[in-house]
Every structure is written in C-alpha cells, then in structure tokens.
Amino acid sequence: MMLYSHQFAEIDVALRRGRHLSRHDYLTYEFIAQNFDDLERFYAGYACRLVQHPDGFFFLLGQGLLPSRKLSRGVMHLGKFIALKARDPELTKANGRISVQELLHDVETSTPPETLTKVYAPKRKEVLTGAAVYEEVLKCLQMLDELGFVSRAGDYVVPREAIHRFAELARHDNSPSDLSKIALEAQRGVVFDEVDDDSTGEADEGQDK
Amino acid sequence: MATDGAHDGLRAAHDVIAARRDFHLEARDIALIVLLYADIESGTAQGFVTSAEDLRALWAKVDLLEGLGTTNAERRLTESINRLLRADCLVRADMVRVKQAEHSQYQLTSLGEALAAWHVQQVRIDGEPLGAILAAFNVQMTAIHDKAQTCTTEPVWTTEVSAPMRYAARELLAAVTRHQRLLDRAHEEIRGFVPSLLKESSEDAIDRCKDVLDTVMRTIRDLLGVTIDVSNVAFGVIDRIQDIAEDRGYAEATPLCEDMRRRLESIVEWTTQRNSDWGSHYDTVHSYLRFVAMVDRSRKVTDALKRSIADVPDWSLRVVDAPRHMYLAERPTPPPKTVIRRARQDFSKEVAVIAPDQLPQRLREISDELLLQGSARWSEVVLQASEVAGLDRVIPRLPEVMHYLLSHGSADNSNRVDVSILGGLTMEELEVRKR
C-alpha cells in the first residue's frame, strides 16, 4: 500500500509545507508520477489539488482543509529575477549554476533602490543599500530554497523547473485577460489581490491562513 | 653503469648551480621557436640554420598573434633572441664574429626542438582514443606478464619486468594526459559554442545543438564503458604479476604494482567525473531547450519577465502552508552553568565544627519521661535539666517547657504553690497530668 510507505510520508510532509517537487529528484518524481491518480484522490479528501504543472513539476494547490499563504513581494520579485536569469543561454556554460554573490549584486544594480526598499523591506523608512539589501534578499532566497523553486549548493544557486511558476504572467505579456485570470487563479494558484505591505521576506509574515 | 649515471647527474647538477643557469622564457619566445620548428619540419626553411631575416618574418607572425603593431618590433625580436640564447634553446650558427647583425645565423638546439615539438604535439589531434591507449597498455602488460612467468632471478626480473613496467606506466600517463587535455579543450569549446546556438533559437540551431550534445554524450558514455572494461583487464594482469613477484619474494614489485593501480584508478576516476559533468551539462541544455528555446523563440516571455522585475510585484502565488507536526520528544535540558572562580589567595579558610544545641531535645525528653510516670511538674523538669546544662541556660527556655507540657497534658490548678528550688529560685509550681 503506497500510503504506508516511508517515501509517501516524506513526500506528503514536503507537499504540505508548500514544496515543489521537480525532476532533479528522480526517485521522488518517479514515485509521484507512478502514483499520481492515488495521490490526487488522497489530497482531494482535503479538498486540495495535487497539480502537475505543464513544465513537469508537482505541487499542492491549497484550497480546502489545508491552510495556505501568499508569497511575499520580496520572494515574488526574487523568484521572477531568478526565472529571468534561468532564461540566459550563457547559464548553460556553468551547468545552470548562478553564483549567490553575483545574484545579490545583480539584484541590487538592476533594480532602483526605492523599488528594492518597497519590495524587500516595506516597513523600513530608509532606502535599502549594500549589506541591508543582501540580508533581505538572502532571506527570500532561503524561502525559495525551502519551497523547492531553487536549490542551494554552497555558494551557488541552481534554479529548478518550478522557478518557471514566476513567469506565469509573463506568458500573458503581464496583462492577462479576465478569463485568463480566472484560469490562472484556479489552476496555477496565482493571486491577484493586493499583496499586503506586511508580506516581507520574513518567514512568519504574509500568512493567509 | 648506474653509478656512472648518478655521477654524471651529480656533476651536471653541480655545474648548473655553479654557473647559475636558469630558464626564463616568455610566451612570445616559445611561439617563435614553435614557428621555427614548424618551418623546419615542413621543409619550408632551408636546412637547419635560420637567418636573421627569416626570424624577422616569423616574428611578424608572433606580433600578429599578440595583436601588436610594427612599433619596436626589432627591439622585441632582439630581446626574445637573447632570452632564447641564454636558455640554450637557440645557438648562434655563424661561427665567426659577424660585422653586421643582418648576417647572423641561428640554429635550434635539441632543447629548443624538444620544447617546440612538445607544444606542437599538444594541439595535434592524433586520433588516439582513450580506449585504444589503454588497450595498447594492456598488450604491453600482457607481454610483461608472460616474461614475468619465466624470470628466475631478481636481476632478470628488474630488467625484464620492472623496467618495462615503469616505461609502460610513463607512456600510458603521457598519452592519457595528452588525450584528456584535448578532450577537455574540445568540450570547453562546445560549452562556449552551445550558448551561441541557443541564442539563435532557430529550429536549425536547436537541431545542431542537440546533435553536438548527443555526439559528446555518446563519446563520453562509450569512453566510460571502454575505460572500465579495459582497466578491469589491466587490473587483473597487474594482480597476476604481483602474485608471481610475491611468490618469488621480489619486494620491489609490490610498490610498483600499487603505483600502476593508482594511475589506472585516477584515469577511471577522471572518465567517471567527466561523464558526470557532461551528463549535468546535457541535462541543463536540454532543460533550457524544453522550457525556454522551444516555447519562447521570439523571446516575448523573457522580455515580459524583464519588464516586470522593474516594478513592485502586484500579484502573488499561493502555496500550501500546513502547520508542522508537533515535536513530542522531550526538550533537552542544558547542563547547569557553573561559574568558575579563582580561589582567593588573601586569606586562609578555617573551618570550625560547632555541635548543634542539644538542650531543647533534652528538655522534651525529661518532660516525656515525667509524663509517662503520670504527671510532670515544672520545677522537677527545671531541676533535672539544670543538672545537665546549668540553670543559666535552662531559665530562658522555661516558656518553651511550659508550652510543651501543656500541649501534652492537662494542668492541675489545685496544686499551684510557690516552690523554692536550688536554694534561692522561687517559682510557681505547674503540674501537668497526662491526658
């Protein structure tokens, strides 16, 4: 019985914590792919949906008994930034690895300081620069790692398939039609409500339980 | 023979130190002798002697490679020739003192030739696949194994087995290193080449990219298979040679066999490592093709993503956030912190043992004894206690005695008379009967 296996327990815990499971973890991926119908029925009992994204990865769409939350502005911005970097062909030279230092530097230099402050530390009155930016961005990076959007390998970050979730709106040229919005909300877990100002990169904020 | 060789080596080393001979060359100097060597090898140059004019023509090519103009070319050439002469890579071939520099002639020394030949060999793709190199090594080792079976004495073993083994190992390492370097260089070029194909995003470019990657992966996988197969055979032959040596008690064979095993293991490890690296690169590029190149050829999505990161995000993603399971294990208690203080040195610690006061206990015992007899009188208790502890110590405890007696019996008010005890102290009698 699949539900009694140790592997299911690990996958269940990961999915309930909001983790995205991509192909790079072959064993987990294969387990879900082979038992997808059973798992889908299991989570339907919680009024939740186990989703396989067209890009291949799996995640749990919380709508029913399991609480869910919205990602903060900082996490969203950094996710989109890494999704953009993952589309650079030059990244294939380094086997898809991005240096953390380079990432921090690029985020700081390619985003206006005022936007950085609004995104990563909306409660702060002063404009974020230097080490303060790095600190906030690293918190968001930690969150992306925990949710399976990227993997940290020492001083490097490797974007996983799930990072393409941050390009959902870009596929609609950033302005989806009303019909597309409904579909994105229902099938991809996109939230168009105003993101709370409190939703910073900090783990305990941005809750929507 | 060995002693003569060692003596010559020592003498040469002494001469080198005494004459302070060193070897300083710049990249352009090496490039010059490589071009000179290539000219001689191809038969372009007339004989082995090169004139200053020929060197100047070759130097123009070096300048071109370095991206330098003709300014100061003559000075740079003169400096380069001087460095090559000092390093014994080039010698003057004009024998007699020439009046004009134009008439100078030069010749490559064997050192210069070897240096140039080595560099030429590094870029020459000689088609030696790693599997073929290892297979040739196995043929050599099998022949050595055959000889090992017939060796009867240690000197013969040294000549027929150990020396050829060392030679085979050296040749193997040289060939493999050259091959590895070539393969690495070729693959690095492919790594650099793939992004340019990916940027084109055309169907043709994507197909070419896939072909290139498939070829590389096929080569690496074949190489890994062949390397493992051939090296397994080699390990077997080395084991058999070592067994023969141990049976016959030839001690020098063991470290030699160990050394050869280590070299083979490092070759297998290198191939495995490359397989892993290139497998990872293959996955990355295919992932890029699948998720980016094939679905976003016009780069509309990428451009939209680029525009969106300039603004504060106005949408978000919903993720499940179930509370974590309760952690039921007992919280570990940290050991109590002890403050370590240095003992004071300015006084000596003396300890005096003081016995606890026994009088209250004795008073209760006397009271109990009298009560057991039926009744206890206050004066009687005082009298008995005074004999033990003295009247001065008993008098302050009189209220205590009274309280104890009253709590253990009933007072007899009919007998309350003044009594004199110990010849001077008068007290009102209190008689308590046991309940």
Q: Do B287 and A96 touch (CB under 8 A)?
A: yes
Q: Do B309 and A60 touch (CB under 8 A)?
A: no
Rounded CA-CA distance B366/B401 in Å is 10
| Residue B255 neighbours by CB under 8 Å, 6+ apart | none
Residues of chain A contacting residue B312, judged by C-beta atoms under 8 Å apart: 73, 77, 115, 118-119
Helix and strand counts by DSSP (H, E) for chain B: 15, 9
Tokens of B172: 């193997």
- Indicate which of A10, A59, A87 best probes the interface with B, i.e. most B CBs within 10 Å of its own CB: A87
Nearest chain A residue to B199 by CA distance is A89
Q: Which residues of B71-88 are buried (b: 16+ CB within 10 A; e: fewer)?
A: eeeeebbeebbebbeebe
- Give the DSSP per-residue string, B92-132: E---SPPSSGGG-EEEE-HHHHHHHHHHHHHH------HHH
Rounded CA-CA distance A71/A58 in Å is 18
Rounded CA-CA distance B387/B335 in Å is 54
How close, in Å, is residue B144 to chain A by CA atoms?
44
Nearest to A83, CA basis, from B105, B317, B134: B317
Q: What is the pLDDT of residue A166?
A: 94
Nearest chain A residue to B291 by CA distance is A55
Q: What is the pLDDT of residue B303?
A: 92
Give SS3 for A121.
coil
- Indicate which of B318, B324, B325, B326 best probes the interface with A, i.e. most A CBs within 10 Å of its own CB: B318
Q: Do B321 and A17 touch (CB under 8 A)?
A: yes
Q: What is the pLDDT of residue A208?
A: 44
The kind and range of the H/E element at B292 are: none
By DSSP bridging, strand B316-320 and strand B409-412 are unpaired
φ, ψ for residue B244, nearest 5 deg: -60, -45
Rounded CA-CA distance B2/B8 in Å is 10
Work out the number of other CB atoms within 10 angstroms of the CB of residue A177. Answer: 9
CA of residue B220 relative to chain centroid, distance: 27
Nearest chain A residue to B310 by CA distance is A111
Q: Do B194 and A115 touch (CB under 8 A)?
A: no
Q: Do A190 and B320 touch (CB under 8 A)?
A: no
How close, in Å, is residue B266 to chain A by CA atoms?
24
Residues of chain A contacting residue B217, judged by C-beta atoms under 8 Å apart: none
Q: What is the pLDDT of residue B119?
A: 79
Nearest to B27, CA basis, from B103, B119, B139: B119
Rounded CA-CA distance A193/A163 in Å is 21
Q: Are B333 and A86 contacting, i.e. CB atoms less than 8 angstroms apart? A: no
Q: Are A118 and B312 contacting, i.e. CB atoms less than 8 angstroms apart? A: yes
Tokens of B308: 């969106």
Where chain B has pLDDT below 70, the residues are 1-5, 44-48, 95-102, 121-131, 201, 325-329, 345, 347-349, 423
For chain B, say whether A125 makes contact (Cβ under 8 Å).
no
Q: Are B36 and B50 contacting, i.e. CB atoms less than 8 angstroms apart? A: yes
**Which sign does the torsion angle of CA B145, B146, B147, B150 carry?**
positive
Q: Do B315 and A169 touch (CB under 8 A)?
A: yes
- CB-nearest partner of A174 from B199, B291, B304: B304
pLDDT tens for chain A, residues 1 to 209 = 788 889 999 999 999 999 999 988 889 999 999 999 999 999 999 889 999 998 899 999 977 788 889 999 999 999 999 999 999 988 888 888 999 999 998 988 888 888 888 888 777 777 666 777 788 889 999 999 999 999 998 889 999 999 999 999 999 998 899 999 999 988 899 998 655 544 444 433 334 44
Q: What is the pLDDT of residue B304?
A: 92
Tell me the β-bridge partners of B107.
B49, B91
Residues of chain B contacting residue A204, judged by C-beta atoms under 8 Å apart: none
Interface A:B, Cβ pairs < 8 A: 159
Q: Do A77 and B309 touch (CB under 8 A)?
A: yes
- Encode pLDDT of B35-46 as tens digits: 888 888 877 666
Residues of chain A contacting residue B285, judged by C-beta atoms under 8 Å apart: 92
Q: Do B315 and A190 touch (CB under 8 A)?
A: yes
Q: Do B318 and A170 touch (CB under 8 A)?
A: no
For chain B, say whether A191 makes contact (Cβ under 8 Å).
yes
Residues of chain B contacting residue A190, judged by C-beta atoms under 8 Å apart: 315-318
Rounded CA-CA distance B148/B399 in Å is 114
Longest dimension (CA), chain A: 57
Residues of chain A contacting residue B324, judged by C-beta atoms under 8 Å apart: 17
- CB-nearest partner of A66 from B308, B312, B320: B320
How close, in Å, is residue A68 to chain B by CA atoms?
4
Nearest chain B residue to A149 by CA distance is B319
Tokens of A90: 């030059």
Q: What is the pLDDT of residue B398?
A: 87
Residues of chain B contacting residue A189, judged by C-beta atoms under 8 Å apart: 317-319
Q: What is the pLDDT of residue A205?
A: 36
Q: What is the pLDDT of residue B180?
A: 76
For chain B, say whether A81 makes contact (Cβ under 8 Å).
yes
Rounded CA-CA distance A172/A185 in Å is 14
Report field, pTM of the whole predicted structure over 0.80: no
**Terminal Cα-to-Cα distance of chain B (whole angstroms):** 125
Q: Do B319 and A71 touch (CB under 8 A)?
A: yes
Q: Do B321 and A89 touch (CB under 8 A)?
A: no
Angle formed by the axes of helices B52-66 and B27-42, nearest 10°: 120
Rounded CA-CA distance A96/A85 in Å is 10
How close, in Å, is residue B208 to chain A by CA atoms?
15
Nearest chain B residue to A22 by CA distance is B287
For chain B, say whether A207 makes contact (Cβ under 8 Å).
yes
- Encode pLDDT of B87-99 as tens digits: 889 888 776 665 5
Q: Do B316 and A70 touch (CB under 8 A)?
A: yes
Residues of chain A contacting residue B195, judged by C-beta atoms under 8 Å apart: 89-90, 92-93
